[in-house]
Structure 1
Amino acid sequence: MSKPSRIRHVAVALIAALLAAVAVWWLCRWVGYDLQERLGNQPVYEILNDTYSQIVDLPEDGLTQTIHLEAGQAFYGVRLKFSTHGQLYKSGMVMVDVTNEAGKLVMQSAGNFLNIFDDTFTEFTTPNPYIPQEAENLTVHLYNAVPWDGPLGLWASEGEVDGMPLCAGDANGASLDATLAVQLVADYSGSWPTVLAEQLALPLAAAAFCAVLLAVFHAPLAVLVAAVGLCLGYSFTQVTPALVAPDEYTHLAAAYELASTWSGQQAATADGKLLVRACDAPHFSTKTGEIGIFAYKAQAYAKILEQCSTDAPTEVSEADAGQGTANYWAQAAGIWLARSRGENFYTMLQYGRVANLLLYLVLVVAAVAVAPAVLRGLFACVALLPMPLQLAGSLSPDAGVLGAVFLFVALCMTLRQQSAARWQLVLLVGLAAAVAPAKAIYLPVVLLCLAIPAEHLDPRRAPAASCVRLGPVVCLPGRLVQVVTLLAAVALWAVANLSALVYAARDMNRMLLAAAALGGMALLAVLVWLYTRVRANPVRLHWFKRGLVLLALLAVAGGLYVFSHMGGGLTPEQLLEIQPNGDSVWTFSFGYICRNLPATLKLLLRTLPEQGGLWLQGLLGTTLGEPIVYRIDVSWLLGIGLLLMLLAVALPARQESPLLTRRASAGVTAILICVILAVLAAALNWTPINYQTLFGMQGRYLLPVLPLALLLLKNTRWVTVQRPVAHGAALGVALLNLLTQLQGFSLYATWQSVS
């Protein structure tokens, strides 16, 4: 490319990126304007006196009403019921001044004939609240600033109510033995919809600028994921309200406990309750956080106004301790840093979210950089989907699990094509050891290391022979690496998940299960030994494989028979045991599933049409937050767009050769099936037996193996493209993610108004 052409290309790219950023900026402004029109200047009322049967006309020297305010209670204004005596006035203005006990003016507001109607409550508000440190009485003085066409009246009680006297003139005037019909404005949305939307403009405009610029320049996809992912992930930390991300309240307790442990502080009480700082205690509970414009506003205000210290946790919270610490070190690091700086609760939460986001980005950027060139676009698109970035922008440990699985898969695919350096071997074993215990259902992914040719895993630099001898066994060093990888993964998986596995098999004969496991391990050792003896003889190897297939069929059939007759079933009385909420006290266990295979199959078949669409939304991220509590579903058009981008990036270019052999494709398919079955088994394990569909099954559980599914699609070569579309697809995913966040923000904000 000539120099003038390069200059034109750079100019076009910069102009396109700037236009995209400006468009997103104005889009954020429009969202803010739209929300302001719908949600702005909306008060929340608290009734102080609802007893009224007379009308008191406003005299020339005005009226003074006393109201009581508790310590820490926010005062945004008052709401009074006026009477125009059935007339429509054309002129007039009433002033409302509110002073505290020290005589300081805390609010001054006016109302004219345009917003005061007959027998209607009218609010007088201030955008900034007055919050007393101690309980006190406020004085509300009403007077005419511009004379009205006729008498202006206010509804009041006959007799004083709750020590709130109404006086003529100022506070020293004569008592009227009455109390106005008055309501306290306890909260006020004001201009916060506009302010909050404008806070999203900078990160989202920066994401659009980076995405367009880097896509047009065909910059390395790892750089695109790092820049765009940071902007979009940070904006997700703002869009998702506190403790509204999936199970975030549980993750907060676990990370908080680990941060206390690092600080050498007592983390929990003897009865297992989490200890927290005094300023954090009101925010800790075992429920999902609030949503709506007032929840957004409260969190933004709290970041500014709440004060905390670096004191050790001393308050007993509602949260339980011991909810896991292995996968929370990044979130705990952010929380520890915030606590050491004396930050308040919401700022501390933000620190933890950002730390989790950085961990995710490090892992997925490494995955994109390590992956083969033809797969980098695929990993980039999956990494930039709304769901993984939403998880990364929260305290969810799933973000680290996703990043680790993506990096493991990318490394395995690279090592299929080239020999491993020693650091890659260490990384391979380390990732397998990290993935397996992180979440039990992803253990089958570790089997992907078997798709790597053994000769590519030889740790020796200049081997004299391809094989090594270990006693009577002769094998390739790469096989030993694969064995070590699998053994490390299985051992750590068993340590981390043995208790959960025992619980799932609670109604089965555990001694018999242990004997079967030992027998299976012994049989596997015998089969490996037989394979080493017959692999050099094609005829014997052929019969060995046939025998292996027959043995597998017999093992499945025999296992189903034994498991369905192992242990006792539930009695009719036990089947009828119901909790107060209507759920059965029993959930699907391994034994119950085996004894009731038809019923289990019926439940799964009912679940698929009812929840299949929600699973796809959860996989892509077009349903936000915790869907069991809040269904925040963005437009289905965005979901279709994201799906099309994934399909596009999975299409191979015409000149590309298949990445997987037929055997490797079968292995990857088997891994996918195993993960899906493990996910379904896990969901069944917490589904009561009287349910007709699965409980708690979410599409995000399948997100770690989405690259494998797309890889299989890419390997089929049913449809090809003229040239790769990786950068265009990544740009499309980024922009759709941006739109998902903007619509999600609007839906979060309007929840209380439409619910």
Structure 2
Amino acid sequence: MQNYKKLLRVVCSLAAAALAAYCTIMLCRWVGYDLQERLGNTPSYAIVNDEYSQIIDIPEEGLTQKMPLQAGQPFYGVRLKFSTHGQLYKSGMTMVEVYNEAGQQVLFAAGNFLNIWDDTFTEFTCNDAYIPDHDETLTIRLYNEVAWDGPLGVWASEGEVDGMVLSLTDGEPLNATMAMQRVSDFTANWPALLAARLQKPLAAAVFAAVLLAMLKTPLFLLVPAVGLALGVGFTYVTPALVAPDEYTHLAAAYELASNWSGQPAADEDGNLLLRACDAAHFGTKTGEIGILAYKNEAIAESSEPGNPDELTTHSEIKAGQGSGSYLAQALGIRLARVQGKNFYTMLLYGRLANLISYLLLAALAVWLAPASLRGLFACVALLPMPLQLAASLSPDAAVLGLVFSFTALCLRLRGEQAVWWQKILLIVLGGLVAPGKAIYLPVVLLCLLIPAENLTYAKKPAVRFLGEEIPGGCCIHSATLVLAFCFWLAANLQAVAYAARDMNTTVLLAGGAAALVLLVLALAGYLKLRKHPRVFFWCKIAFAAVLVLGAVVGVRAVSHMGGGLDPDQLTMTYPNGDSIWTFSFGYICRNIPATVKLLLRTLPEQGTLWLQGLLGTTLGEPIVYRIDVSWLLGVGLLLAVLAAALPRQEGPALLGRRSKAGVAGICLCVVLAVLAAALNWTPINYQTLFGLQGRYLLPILPLVLLLVKSSKTLALRRDVSHAAALCTGTLTMLTLLQGFGLYAAWQPVS
């Protein structure tokens, strides 16, 4: 009987997953149909002749028009301006044929009374472009296949324009040139075809999510399975070089791949060396979007030639673009170059390698997390924003995976004794998190939430330090913090020096040394006085007073440190009006009221956008393109994540009062670091912060949700981890699908 129930459960799960996948396919088809109706068979055109002042009726033998075409110019058809002499005809058929110089027919199209109107351009198109490899002259033949109710004419110039001869089909020139436009691009049925590409990955994602959730499969298996399918969808949806700062990340990963190849990555001037097939794409800082961009990218990916891995072309891109983690991206790019793939395939390989790297780290985080927190980490990992970053070349994906894994391990070790590999992993993850991005250094302090007893070696439970015995696990704490700080300092020293460029370096170093001495004295005092509660209490009061006094004196000192900007310097701007000066640490300290006002103005103006960026309902690079999906999807994602963060009624408290304060303090430190980093690139004449995006707060989202889960104000009767992960994956799929429609239909604001 028990086996029968298990079999029935599997069958029902498979049926539900198959039905969900079928509905997803139908939804993709609807999106394709809708886009085809709105965007399909739409031409883009270039003017060939815009001079016309007479109407020439199409004679029985027809007209022949010459039209030049340059090498490499795509020809999808021609637009001609007709005249029906003010009448609305009921019948008639006009044929248009176009031949190249070799006599091959490159276009055959017809027009009837349904699409030919008086004094209106009418296009005659084909789905596939004709692209000559040399300059040539096309021959356009225009004739009536079925007689019209009345005369049908075309507008033309009086006299030939640029040698474009208009003549009767029998060869008699008419000393005129038709009003013409070349159809330079054509959407044809590409909207439906491109939407159909999404059917397989999105249907696979929904099928896996429903099946694994209903079967209660471990979440560390659900996350990579569903995330891989959704991530592949994002590689299709996010156009080339449109992901956040992708052009910079491409240059950095390309340079690393070149170093691995053993070839010089840059020339004598420090510019990147490229393969010949990649050179044309490296001048693009932000890629194009729209249905034609999708179409041309898909065509180029399958037809554009590649090159062997030989760096023969000089570029204007400087080497040393990035200092983040580009190992996975460079591996994908290197593999594509070894195989001689073209640029777009190389970009796809790099994106997929980055996606796989992120999913492995995300699965590790879910596996390391305590059982009660696995649903929380799974939902955060499947949000649209981390998957979008992972499906690009962004190094933030690796940073997210590392921070998630480190956070999960710290929370797990709060409740169990660490084994040897967990101790090593804690130190390694802490060391890798710190240099990934400077603003996430405070996250390393999470290791202090682990009781020292849980990290102690059984053979040596205590060690002597400053004449006192302390738990051996404190060595693990110290190793993690010291290694992280050293790596952070090595990776970010230049950035910190730039941010403090207008401050007295000697005084800052002296202040840092004094803080270090104070920390050592506080540690020594703690070890010596912790066994004397009364004395220890008053020492804590004294230490807090010293900290407050030091903070006040420090703020006053830095606010008067260095010279401020004089009135002439304050008015210095770039041609676009931006000040040449940005908010440095010194300028912030000297202008605290102005900084506070800027932050207060920023919050109501950009707060909603930060939340969208945190969840991923704003796609691409919002500074360049604002692709915002429905706010309903954002509300759904927020509710799904909060459901995973709610505690169970019978579950134990995850954090005590002090631990909650510590976690809140770490989150606050990261927020302040994010604000400081954003100020560092904001011109001083701006009224709001520039370039601050919600995705910068994504690594601490599990910690914020942990504070929610540690509260018993609202609790659940049963575990909803799998249901929340299923909802998050489904809403991410819908975000992806709507984002594709918005990208495809995007039009520049005039």
- Alpha-carbon distance in 2 for matches of 1:281, 1:267: 14
Q: Given that residues 83 and 119 in structure 1 are in contact (C-alpha distance below 8 angstroms), is that contact kept between their aligned partners in structure 2?
A: yes
Residue identity matched to 2:5 = S
Q: Residue 49 of structure 2 aligns to a residue in which SS?
A: coil
Structure 2 equivalent of residue 288 of structure 1: 286
Shift of 1:4: 2.9
Q: State how far apart, in whole Å, the 1-side matches of 2:582 and 2:312 are.
A: 37
- In structure 2, distance between residues paired with 1:689 and 1:366: 43
Q: Which residue of 1 aligns with 2:102?
A: 102
Counterpart for residue 297 of structure 1: 295
Q: Which residue of 2 aligns with 1:334?
A: 332
In the alignment, the residues of structure 2 paired with residue 178 and residue 538 of structure 1 have an alpha-carbon distance, to the nearest angstrom, of: 104
Counterpart contact for 1:286–1:318, Cα < 8 Å: no
Q: Does 1:498 align with 2:480?
A: no
Give the match for residue 482 of structure 1: 477
Query: 3-state DSSP class of the match of 1:318?
Result: strand
Instruction: Give yes or no for contact 2:468–2:528 (8 Å, CA) kept in 1.
Output: no
* Structure 2 equivalent of residue 144 of structure 1: 144
Question: What corresponds to 1:362 in structure 2?
Answer: 360
RMSD: 1.3
Moved more, 497-506 or 419-428: 419-428
| Structure-2 residue corresponding to 1:439 | 437
Match of 1:689 in 2: 684
* Residue of structure 1 aligned with 2:347, choices 346, 349, 360: 349
| Structure-1 residue corresponding to 2:567 | 572
Matches of 1:27 and 1:694, distance apart in 2: 39
Q: Residues 301-316 of structure 1 correspond to what in structure 2 (within 5 A)?
A: 301-316=299-314
Between the aligned partners of 1:73 and 1:577, the Cα distance in structure 2 is 45
Q: Work out whether residues 71 and 135 of structure 1, in 8 Å CA contact, stay in contact via their aligned partners in 2.
A: yes
What aligned pairs does 1:204-243 form with structure 2 within 5 A after superposition? 204-243=202-241
In the other structure, the counterpart of 2:414 is: 416
After superposition, give the CA deviation of every residue in 1:567-625 in whole Å (9 maximum; x if it has no partner).
Answer: 11111111111111111111111111111111111111111000000000000000000
CA–CA distance in structure 1, aligned partners of residues 748 and 623 of structure 2? 20
- Tell whether the 8 Å contact from 1:457 to 1:477 is kept in structure 2 after alignment: yes
Q: Is the counterpart of residue 744 in structure 1 residue 742 in structure 2?
A: no
| 1:610 counterpart residue number | 605
- Asked if residue 627 in structure 1 is aligned to residue 622 in structure 2, the reply is yes
Partner of 1:516: 511
Summarize deviations over 1:180-235 as a string: whole Å, max 9, x none: 11110000000000000000011001111111111111111111111100000110
What is the rounded CA distance, in whole Å, between the counterparts of 2:208 and 2:11 in structure 1? Answer: 15
2:100 aligned with 1:135: no
Distance 1:220 1:415 in 2: 20
Deviations 1:700-745 (A, max 9, x none): 0000000000001100111101111111111111111011111111
Unpaired stretches in structure 1, ≥5 consecutive residues:
none
**Letter aligned with residue 429 of structure 2:** L
Partner letter of residue 344 of structure 1?
N
- For 1:279, the equivalent position in structure 2 comes to 277
Q: Would the aligned equivalents of 1:250 and 1:286 in 2 still touch at CA under 8 Å?
A: no
Residue 469 (structure 1) shift: 3.1
**Aligned counterparts of 1:698 and 1:754: Cα–Cα separation in 2:** 22
Preserved contact between residue 28 and residue 201 of structure 1 (Cα < 8 Å): yes
Q: Secondary structure at the match of 1:581?
A: coil
1:541 paired residue number: 536
> Compared with structure 1, are the counterparts of its residues 52 and 134 closer, same or farther at alpha carbon in structure 2 (3 Å cutoff)?
same
Query: SS at the partner of 2:98?
Result: strand
CA distance in 1, matches of 2:154, 2:263: 58
Q: Partner of 1:31 in structure 2? A: 31
CA distance change for structure 1 residues 753 and 153 in 2, over 3 Å: closer, same or farther? farther
| Partners of 2:366 and 2:378 within 8 A in 1 | yes
Distance 1:232 1:472 in 2: 57
Conserved in 2, the CA contact under 8 Å of 1:310 and 1:341?
Answer: yes
> How big is the shift at 1:19?
1.1
Aligned AA for 1:530?
A: G
2:72: which partner in 1? 72
1:374 equivalenced with 2:369 (yes/no): no
What SS class does the counterpart of residue 182 from structure 2 fall into?
A: strand
Conservation of the 8 A alpha-carbon contact between 1:268 and 1:321: yes
Match of 2:58 in 1: 58
Q: Of 631, 646, 656, which residue of structure 2 is paired with 1:661? A: 656
Find out whether 1:87 has 2:90 as its counterpart.
Answer: no
User: Do the aligned partners of 2:52 and 2:157 also contact (CA within 8 Å) in 1?
Assistant: yes
Shift in Å, 1:695 = 0.5
Change (3 A) 1:754 1:599: closer
Amino acid at match of 2:129: P
The residue aligned with 1:560 is: 555
Alignment partner of 1:721: what SS?
coil
**Over residues 87-123 of structure 1, what are the superposed CA-to-partner deviations in whole Å (9 max), with x where a residue is unaligned?**
2222211111111111111111111111111111100
Question: Relative to structure 2, which stretch is displaced further, 278-287 or 739-748?
Answer: 278-287
Residue 751 of structure 1, CA deviation: 0.7
Structure 1 contact 432–446 (Cα < 8 Å) conserved? yes
Q: Note if contact 1:274-1:317 (Cα within 8 Å) is conserved in structure 2.
A: yes
C-alpha separation in 1, matches of 2:748 and 2:26: 25
Q: Kindly indicate whether the alpha-carbon contact (under 8 Å) linking 2:629 and 2:739 is maintained by their aligned counterparts in 1.
A: yes
Q: How far off its partner does 1:269 sit?
A: 2.6
Report the CA distance shift for 1:17/1:223 in structure 2 as closer, same or farther (over 3 A).
Answer: same
Deviations 1:660-688 (A, max 9, x none): 12111111111001000000000001111
Give the Cα separation in 2 of the matches to 1:572 and 1:470.
55
Give, in whole Å, the separation in 2 of the partners of 1:477 and 1:280.
55
Question: Is the Cα–Cα contact under 8 Å of residues 255 and 325 in structure 1 kept in the other structure?
Answer: no
- Could you give the per-residue CA deviations for residues 353-381 of structure 1, whole angstroms, max 9, x where no partner exists? 00000000000001001110000000000
Aligned length: 750
Checking the alignment, whether the CA contact within 8 Å between 1:467 and 1:477 is kept in structure 2 is yes
Cα deviation for residue 470 of structure 1 reads 5.6
Alpha-carbon distance in 1 for matches of 2:224, 2:218? 10
- After superposing the two structures, state which structure 1 stretch, 542-551 or 691-700, moved more: 542-551
**For the Cα contact (< 8 Å) 1:286–1:319, is it kept in 2?**
no
Query: Cα offset for 1:753?
Result: 7.2
Q: Judge conservation of contact 1:269–1:275 (CA < 8 Å) in 2.
A: yes
Do the aligned residues in 2 keep the contact of 1:260 with 1:267 (CA within 8 Å)? yes
Q: Which amino acid aligns with 2:532?
A: N
Write the distance in 2 (CA, Å) between the matches of 1:13 and 1:435. Answer: 39
Q: Are 1:165 and 2:188 an aligned pair?
A: no
The reply on whether 1:320 has 2:315 as its aligned counterpart is: no
Structure 1 contact 97–107 (Cα < 8 Å) conserved: yes
Partners of 1:427 and 1:285 in 2: how far apart? 41
Change (3 A) 1:254 1:753: closer
- For the residues of structure 1 that align with 2:406 and 2:17, how far apart are their CA atoms? 33
Does the 8 A contact of 1:47 with 1:184 survive in 2?
A: yes
Deviation at residue 326 of structure 1 after TM alignment: 4.2
> Hey, what's the Cα distance between the residues in 1 that align with 2:746 and 2:718?
44
The answer (yes or no) to whether the contact 2:248–2:322 under 8 Å persists in 1 is: no
Q: How far apart are the structure 2 equivalents of 1:691 and 1:468?
A: 54
- Checking the alignment, whether the CA contact within 8 Å between 2:324 and 2:395 is kept in structure 1 is no
The aligned counterpart of 2:390 is 392
Native 8 Å contact 1:43 1:189 kept in 2: yes
SS in 1 for 2:746: helix
* Structure 1 residues 322-359: Cα deviation after superposition (integer angstroms, max 9, x where no partner): 11244111111111111111111111111110000000
Q: Which residue number corresponds to residue 597 of structure 1?
A: 592
Distance apart, 1:500 and its partner CA: 0.6
Taking structure 1 as the reference length, the TM-score comes to 0.98
Q: Which amino acid aligns with 1:692?
A: Q
Q: Distance in 2 between matches of 1:473 and 1:68?
A: 91
